[in-house]
Amino acid sequence: PANWNNGDDCVIVPSVTNEEIPAMFPKGYTEVKPYLRMTPQPNWN
């Protein structure tokens, strides 16, 4: 997104299932809407 800054949460693409998320994003995620899930930026402190 245009207003995204390094360190902000990232969008998880809809093609990734909820079952796949824990292995791919161990920091967890927040489900804003079923189609909009956010995770902390990988490789960021």
With a cut of 70, say whether residue 45 has pLDDT above it.
no
Q: Which residue range(s) make up the domain with 43?
A: 1-45
Q: What residue ranges in 1-45 does DSSP mark as E strands?
A: 10-12, 30-33, 36-39
Residue 28, sorted as left (phi over 0), alpha (psi -120 to 50) or beta, turns out to be left
Query: What is the count of structural domains for the chain?
Result: 1
pLDDT digits (tens, 9 = 90+) for 25-42: 999 999 999 999 999 998
pLDDT at 14: 95
27 CB contacts (<8 Å, ≥6 apart)? 39, 40, 42
